[in-house]
Amino acid sequence: MAAHDVVVIGAGPAGSTAAYRLARAGARVLLMDKARFPRDKPCGGGVTVRAARLLPFSIDPVVEDVVDRIACGLDFGPQFERRSSGPLAYMTQRKRLDHFLLEQAIEAGAEVRLETTVDARELDADFVVGADGCNGASAKQLGLGGGIVHGVALEANYPHEPRFARAMVLEIAVIRGGYGWIFPKGDHLNVGVGGNASEGPKLRTALRRMCEAYGFDPDAAVERRGYRLPMRTAATRLVHGNAAVIGDAAGLVDPFSGDGMYEAFLSAQLVAEAILAGDLASYADGVARRIGPLASAGWGAKRAFERFPRTTFALARLPVTFRALEKLLRGELGHPGAARGMERGAIGLIYAVSRVS
């Protein structure tokens, strides 16, 4: 008999959540990570309401601000603001969130080994789950992953300002294939820019422009960090034998928003369900069914904003478009293609723009 039913490599949001679900179901789980916790990770730190709803417990203990309005601009020109009737996203810090999720896995019964580096091919377990992010080694060691394309981002923290409380600021088209953002935290603001990999050399200039446009001193930045955003393609392999990859290790980041938290929590749920059912191969089918439509929509929105930013921005600012976005962020709409009525028409126009040659 194997030493463990499941070994999960990586204790980030995907890994800890998968370990929690498996341990709560009675599986003998070993969760491993090369770092000592608490540890920080570069990330905007936003958890949409739809992502939080996937968790079997509340993240209230680590929430620092609750977003219910979105302010959106087009390359520091035209702007609009929309307010939701309820929360859209919860703002936290990865240092706090990841440690909290790890603690939940431990309380559920998972064995944890930190500051440990392993070769995934040598583990004594019935199943192995790679969850060590886009820079981890588990996917390659297990013959998984591949075909992943990357975006790039640069973020920094700045002193908190009350004018940004409860607001998510998005500045479209400040960089090709992406946007700039301002996310409020308990004692600071997270400001960043992200876009296509080819934009890497322009990130510092774009971040400085973002700061200057919104009245920040660019030189007041602390914890300036760059990172990659992994996005899977049809060639990305998620399952092989008794092994699977989840979260960022599987390239499960939304191509347009750059958000991977929802995909991390959902892939953790899907892989746990597949393992507990004794049918790991069904995990890939679950990803195709539950995450595939969102990824396709993300690629479409990314193309539309990249190629025709002004037209797409004009469509995005329509109140009916915001109603669809609101439902998506709150988990009331599975994917954009599931919209109905006028909301479906507005979303359809954006994707029609993405297909213009």
CA atoms within 13 A on the CB side of 313: 23
Report pLDDT for 100. Answer: 98
DSSP secondary structure string for all residues of 138-193: HHHHTT-B-S-EEEEEEEEEEE--GGGTTEEEEEETSSTT-EEEEEE-SSEEEEEE
Does some domain include residue 120? yes
| Residue that terminates a domain, selected from 230, 262, 288 | 230
Per-residue model confidence as pLDDT tens digits over 152-166: 999 999 999 999 999
The confidence score (pLDDT) of residue 290 equals 96
**Alpha-carbon dihedral angle through residues 166, 181, 153, 228, given to the nearest 10 degrees:** 40
pLDDT of residue 275: 98
Q: Are residues 11 and 121 in the same domain?
A: yes
Does one domain contain both 214 and 164? yes
pLDDT at 350: 85
What is the number of structural domains in the chain? 3
pTM over 0.85: yes
What pLDDT is stored for residue 214 in this prediction?
Answer: 96
**Which one-letter DSSP state was computed for residue 308?**
-
Q: Give yes or no: residues 274 and 333 share one domain.
A: no
pLDDT at 357: 54
Range of the domain at 168: 149-230
Tell me, yes or no, whether 97 lies in a domain: yes
Say whether both 259 and 202 belong to one domain: no
| The pair of three-digit structure tokens given for residue 248, joined into one six-digit string | 């960022």
Side-by-side strand order, sheet with 167-172: 79-83, 69-74, 167-172, 179-184, 188-196, 149-159, 222-231
Asked whether residue 249 falls in the same domain as residue 194, the answer is: no
- CATH code, domain carrying 12: 3.50.50.60
Instruction: Give the model's pLDDT for residue 162.
Output: 95
Distance of CA 295 to the CA centre of its chain: 12
Residue ranges of the chain with pLDDT lower than 50?
A: none
Instruction: Answer yes or no: do 134 and 241 share one domain.
Output: yes
For residues 18 and 142, membership in a common domain is answered with yes
